[in-house]
Structure 1
Amino acid sequence: MTDTANPPRPCWTDRLELGEGIRWFDGRLVLVDILAGRLLQAPDERNAAPEGALRELLRLPMPLGAVAPVSGRPGWWIAAAGTGVCLIRPDGGLDWLARPEDTRPLRTRMNDGVADPHGRFWAGSMAYDATEDAGSLYRVGPDGAVTRVLDGITVPNGPAFTADGTVMYLADSARGMIRRYAVDAASGAVGAVETFAVVDNPAAPDGMTVDRRGGLWVAVWGAGAVHHYREDGTLARIVPVPAVQPAGVCLGGPDRRTLFITSARTGLKDPGALDGAVFALRVDTPGLPAPSFRLAAPR
């Protein structure tokens, strides 16, 4: 089950504080350094060379959890940032859709997020000190309305969706748990939930992505590994990563068969040379296209 024959190789020279939200959009690899508020793009996704640095597309004066491009609007992004969700204009200006975490009694921030196959955007929130049950999951519809759909989560990560958008995987990292939810394709309503997998403490499931066969890749924070689960929840493969805190994953490259893995240096007393690096690993099953956010109403 543990695969040491084909180790992930480090890419580029950057060492990120908290690298997450990695996605393959329209032939380019983008990711965020959450606490630094940076959106980054890989300079050479085809070769994923160890030399060279990531290109900074923009920097916000607040944490930046994840982004997705806005369909039909070149240079626009929807972002889980600070205490809410905003649109980022090509000039770097922000149009806030909502800041629901402003009213929370604890100090909180947005975390990971993703667009689903139907063009909605989903993003989680968490307390800075990971207070139990303080996190939520939000859904952004095509009209730009931001709706809290789940609460009572401690550290939400993901979500990740199947190809038809009717199944959502969401990790509660602090509980070591990955849950699987039914999602109504037409409305985005969240339905029945079941426990998909549990990761033994102190390791924690973090960023996730679904491949074309319905398998789930998961970055396992604190374990120096990524896990691959079959659709039935069976753990099929463990790939060691030469960084303590893998944080995000995506399947990209021209054939979508390169697994890119982010990692983090934050919280480590003595970070190693590769902590905070981005890694690449070739896999057999390709990934799914990363959707854009479809904003119907002009803003």
Structure 2
Amino acid sequence: MTAEAAPAWRACTPTRHRLAEGARWMDGKLLFVDLLRGDLYRIRGVGAGDPEPLLRLRMPLGAVAPVAGGPPGRWIVAAGPGIALTDGRGTLHWLARPGERPDRAMRMNDAGCDPAGRFWAGSMEVHAAPYAGSLYRTDPDGTVHEVLDGLTVPNGPVFTPDGSVMYLADSARGVVTRHAVDPCSGTLGPPEPFAFFPPGEGRPDGMAVDDDQNLWVALWGGGRVLCLGPDGTRLRTMLLPTPHTSSVAFGGGLMYVTTALHRLERPGPLDGAVLTGTSDVTAPPVRPYRPAGGA
């Protein structure tokens, strides 16, 4: 495997973000969050000006998914201490707030839906205390279940197109695990080691599974995105002109990578940008949350 620099990485918009995350392709546009600001944005096209704000929650926002079957502008969000549904004005209707604990300051982190429409979201202690985080599954009836604990900084989860496999990164530990999933019930199998990244290589952050079932991993602190085959073989490494690569998405013949200004003493001109380059990779668009009986 050789590292390759995508031709002409460029910033999608002039805006720079403190911690851009959660890149998702939806309806021909890119969604992403600025996690620490609590904002959700949409990019309508490369070079189309500043990103369009869709939500401003005033609390950390890890990731979102659209809600199927309802009016436009409805989202399920992993935000602040828990998981909530929003209406078109951004009002939060909490499904669960497991992070409201007297003993620890917790917040939600990355999240995403499986092909069946269940919403999976990770939590972490705000200072990344070891093993304080968990993974939660929100079912179509709106119930929220803790399915894994003992995590530190969970990122992902992402799923294969048939929903039978989930990949989950624990960024602080530098590991990606693979889990069998029952596509009908959402029952999660035990973790299987899939990939390990030593500190000098960067920490596994946001991920995506492409249409060939390869796993793409953004390496925070490593300035690169790595492609792994279903057997864990390293297939491709894409080098980027900024160290804090945080998530990856594909759509419209382009590869999108979010980046961050967070914890950079001397930011460069592209740090904090949403970067894009041409790509021959295709991947499913964002999967919606599918509530029972419609929204």
The residue aligned with 2:243 is 244
Call closer, same or farther: CA 1:104–1:279 in 2, change over 3 Å. Answer: farther
- Helix, strand or coil for the counterpart of 2:104? coil
The residue aligned with 1:88 is 86
Q: What's the CA shift for 1:21?
A: 0.8
**Alpha-carbon contact 1:7-1:240 (below 8 Å) kept:** no
State the distance in 1 between where 2:286 and 2:5 align: 28
State the distance in 1 between where 2:44 and 2:29 align: 9
The residue aligned with 1:197 is 195
Give 2:268's match in structure 1, choosing from 249, 267, 272.
272
1:59 aligns with 2:56: yes
Call closer, same or farther: CA 1:22–1:191 in 2, change over 3 Å. Answer: same
**Alpha-carbon contact 1:115-1:292 (below 8 Å) kept:** yes
- Helix, strand or coil for the counterpart of 1:100? coil
State the distance in 1 between where 2:186 and 2:274 align: 32
State the distance in 2 between where 1:149 and 1:58 align: 28
Matched AA of 1:31: F
Q: What's the CA shift for 1:29?
A: 1.2
* CA-atom RMSD in angstroms: 1.4
- Helix, strand or coil for the counterpart of 2:281? coil
Q: What's the CA shift for 1:5?
A: 5.6
The residue aligned with 1:9 is 10
State the distance in 2 between where 1:104 and 1:211 align: 40
State the distance in 1 between where 2:23 and 2:242 align: 16
1:1-299 equivalence runs, <5 A: 1-4=2-5, 6-44=7-45, 48-49=46-47, 52-73=49-70, 74-103=72-101, 105-202=103-200, 203-253=202-252, 257-296=253-292
State the distance in 1 between where 2:213 and 2:278 align: 18
- Helix, strand or coil for the counterpart of 1:171? strand
Structure 1's unaligned 5+ residue stretches are: none
Structure 2's unaligned 5+ residue stretches are: none
State the distance in 2 between where 1:181 and 1:294 align: 22
- Helix, strand or coil for the counterpart of 1:266? coil
State the distance in 2 between where 1:238 and 1:7 align: 16
State the distance in 2 between where 1:122 and 1:75 align: 20
**Alpha-carbon contact 1:163-1:212 (below 8 Å) kept:** yes
Give a deviation string over 1:109-154, Cα, whole Å, max 9, x none. 0000001100000010111111100111110000000111001011
Give aligned pairs, total: 292
Give a deviation string over 1:60-87, Cα, whole Å, max 9, x none. 1211110000001121000000000000
State the distance in 2 between where 1:10 and 1:123 align: 28
- Helix, strand or coil for the counterpart of 2:4? coil
- Helix, strand or coil for the counterpart of 1:170? strand
Q: What's the CA shift for 1:259?
A: 1.4
Matched AA of 2:216: W
Call closer, same or farther: CA 1:5–1:31 in 2, change over 3 Å. Answer: closer
**Alpha-carbon contact 1:176-1:198 (below 8 Å) kept:** yes
Identity of aligned residues (%): 49
Matched AA of 1:209: A
State the distance in 2 between where 1:277 and 1:56 align: 15
State the distance in 2 between where 1:171 and 1:291 align: 19
Call closer, same or farther: CA 1:259–1:5 in 2, change over 3 Å. Answer: closer
- Helix, strand or coil for the counterpart of 1:62? coil
**Alpha-carbon contact 2:44-2:51 (below 8 Å) kept:** yes
The alignment's TM-score, normalised by the length of structure 1, stands at 0.94
**Alpha-carbon contact 2:6-2:278 (below 8 Å) kept:** no
